[in-house]
Structures are given as structure tokens and as C-alpha cells.
Amino acid sequence: MTAPQAACLQAALQVGYHLLDRGGPALVAVEQTIRVLEQSGLFNAGKGARFQLDGIRRMDASIMEGHGLRAGAVASVEGIVHPITAARMVMEETDHVLLVGPMATTFAEHFRLEPLHTPAPMRRLSYAMMLKRQKPVRNRHGTVGAVALDRFGTVAAGASTGGIALMLPGRVGDTPLIGCGVYADNQSGAVSMTGIGEGIIRIAVAKEICERLAEGKTPKSTARYVLRKLVARIRGAAGTLVLTPDGRFTISHVTPRMAAGWWDGRGKPTVGDRFP
């Protein structure tokens, strides 16, 4: 984690906490925290989103709150800085949960979300060439996410990503899939994932973590168990943020590093890239 990334994480945590401290809902705190990270260009989300093999940025995001199990998501959306806000608009302005592709982009444009200007691809590749150039998904990733608990006891979770490097156009990972990359339920907790989506999807990690929390397991033991299962069963790689309605939390990962942090309003926000 670079010094600018650490400073951005601290700023994002402060934005989210101050909203909660003023009585704001967890959902808004999650959205606004993630917007700081999308805006920065320092992570693989929003302005920092990676390009797919055809030279176009396509992004995914989702958000969920635990009181009414409301959720919204977008996948393969183009040309906006804040996919997390598009996800929230899906939740609040439609009866749907997930919008995808060009129509997700049209939806975002309808609500005049901040545009993301990128140059047109200089070179067009055939699909056969793109298949040859794709690489195994063991490369670096950088999904951004947040979980929050408000004074009313409601938890929320969200995530936003530009995917993985050198991916086929239209590839969708775990981030916009409720129960895989994100889940929130006031009866168990809130979970936001980062990592290689193909593995996270197959285990449905976020929902499994919440199910174990509902059984009375602790956040730390639950995260360790499910992440180790991910490694043992399919050699997956991931990290997670887990928060329960009574305020217990953990940051856990089975990757070498995971840039993350937390803050309870005292002292300075804690940030790092390695958590036990």
C-alpha cells in the first residue's frame, strides 16, 4: 500500500464515520466512503478502474442494507465515476436488484451521474486474439468496499470494482452478485469481499459468512473458516470486511496483503495492508 493510498483510506473512513456520528444511515455511510475511493483513482474502481482487453473500462458495484434486505447492483457499466451510486439508484429507483451492460450505463446517464472520460481504444483486437491474450486470474486486484453500523442497529455493505487485469470484455466477478461479494442482514452482519471473483462466486462467500454469524460464530473465526475453505476447495484468493449488529468486526485475508482500515471516532483511523 502506498502512502497516498493509506491517506485516501483514512479520509474515506473519516467521511463514513462522521456521517454515522451525525445520525446518518449505514447505507449512506457505505456509499459515501466508497465514493471517496472511486474518486481517488488510486484503487481499481471508478477513476482507477482497469481496462478490459478491448480497451474499455467496465465496472461492477453493489450495495445492501440489513434492515429490509434491500439491495442494488450494476455490472459491466461504462463511463461513470461512481458505480456505487448507480447501484444505490437501482435499489431506490427500481423494483430490480441488478442492471447490466449498456442499459446499466443508460440508467446511470439518466440520473446524470458524474461521467468518466477515457480515450477511445487505439487498437481493435479480434475475439480470437483477446482469448489468446487473457491471463490467469492470479494477478493483482483492488476492489474497494465498506461495511458500516449505524446508531439504529442497521448494518450495510457495499463494493465497487474495475475487475481484474487483462479480462475478456463482459467478464463479471463477485462484486455485483448479492451473497457473493456483498451481503448485509441485521440478523447476522455485513460482509464486503475483495479478491478473485471466480472463486468467491463458487463458494458464495458473503452469504456463507453471514449464515455462520447467525449461528453465533464470531466474525474472526467465521472469516478464517470460510476463507480457508475457499483456499482448500478451489485455491481461491480473497479478503473480507465483516461487521456484526453488535459492533464486533474483523478484517481478514488469505492474500499476501489487503489495504484496509477501521475507525471508531477515537484517535486516528487505523489503516494497514496486513491483518492477522
Residue 97's CB: how many other CB atoms inside 10 A?
A: 17
Taking every pair of C-alpha atoms in the chain, what is the biggest distance, in angstroms?
Answer: 55
d(CA 225, CA 141) in angstroms, rounded, equals 22
> Is residue 143 annotated as part of the catalytic site, yes or no?
yes
Please give the DSSP secondary-structure letter assigned to residue 165: T
Q: How far is CA 107 from CA 48, 51, 102, 103, in A?
A: 22, 21, 9, 6
Burial class (CB in 10 A: 0-12, 13-18, 19+), 112: exposed
d(CA 116, CA 57) in angstroms, rounded, equals 10
Nearest CA-CA partner of 51 in 197, 172, 166: 166
Query: Which among 33, 85, 143, 250 is annotated as catalytic?
Result: 143
Specify which residues 64 forms β-bridges with: 71, 157
Point out the residues that are catalytic. 143
